A and B are shown apart, each in its own frame.
Chain A
Amino acid sequence: DAKTTQPPSMDCAEGRAANLPCNHSTISGNEYVYWYRQIHSQGPQYIIHGLKNNETNEMASLIITEDRKSSTLILPHATLRDTAVYYCIVRVFGNEKLTFGTGTRLTIIP
């Protein structure tokens, strides 16, 4: 699976959009981009995934660049409960194993 690079930490004001970047410059054509988050003392939680088109669900939006070498997770209206470590993972569809990087620690500020 391709390696990902994320900033170690970010702050975002409550109510604003949180934009979390991820670089995956060695991504292959059959690899998807997945995002998970881990709130303190809990197991990771799935957020969203995509291949090349932008995706949106009730939790977030995923923007993938045209060359697929980077992506951005957007939390449109961040709340204090969004404070967590966010992991960007690239993996082949159908490969059930997840390789976690160091993630981005997002802190939502009141």
Chain B
Amino acid sequence: SAVISQKPSRDICQRGTSLTIQCQVDSQVTMMFWYRQQPGQSLTLIATANQGSEATYESGFVIDKFPISRPNLTFSTLTVSNMSPEDSSIYLCSVEGRGRGTEAFFGQGTRLTVV
């Protein structure tokens, strides 16, 4: 299994500001994934982060709004930029288990409220 730590666990931010969310894994992983879960909704994949290359974004998500860093094999950050109330969501980091096709592990998430 993989243990994932996300920081902060929650935050309340002013509109127009940016928040950087950190994701730390206790083992080296090739891919890390960032998801968004809007209130009362299911999870939606934002992007896939590979070490040493630019993140791959899903349709509807752009780098200017959600810049991602992946400086090494155990760490990634997601920044939510120029926030508006519509960005209020839970943001979750995920990694694949050991071996391709096995289960994914998720962090506890960051609950973001934009006021």
B-contact bits for A82-101, CB 8 A (1 contact / 0 none): 00000100000111111111
Q: Which residue of B lies closest to A92 (CB)?
A: B101
- Judged by a CB distance under 8 angstroms, whether A29 is at the interface is no
Q: Which of under 10, 10 to 19, 20 to 34, or 35 or more describes the interface residues of B?
A: 20 to 34
Having A96-B31, A100-B44, one finds 10 other A-B pairs with CB under 8 Å, namely A43-B107, A44-B43, A45-B106, A96-B100, A96-B104, A97-B45, A98-B43, A98-B94, A99-B45, A102-B42
Instruction: List, in ascending order, chain B residues with CB within 8 A of A46's CB.
Output: 97, 103-105
B104 touches A98 (CB 8 A): yes
Q: Which residues of A contact B4 (CB under 8 A)?
A: 43
Grouping DSSP codes into helix (H, G, I), strand (E, B) and loop, the B interface class, with mixed when no group exceeds half, is: strand
Report the separation of the CA atoms of residues A103 and B96 in the bound assembly, to the nearest whole angstrom. Answer: 21
Which residue of A is nearest B109, CB measured?
Answer: A43
In the complex, how many residue pairs between chain A and chain B have their CB atoms under 8 Å apart?
51
> In the complex the two chains form, is B103's CB within 8 Å of A96's CB?
no
Which residues of A (32-50) have their CB < 8 Å from a CB of B?
32, 34, 36, 41-46, 49
**Hey, which bits of chain A sit against chain B, CB under 8 A?**
32, 34, 36, 41-46, 49, 87, 93-103
* A-chain residues with CB within 8 Å of residue B24 when the two chains form the complex: none
* Beta-carbon nearest neighbor of A48 in chain B: B103
B82-115 to A contact mask, C-beta < 8 Å, 1/0: 0000000000101011001101111111000000
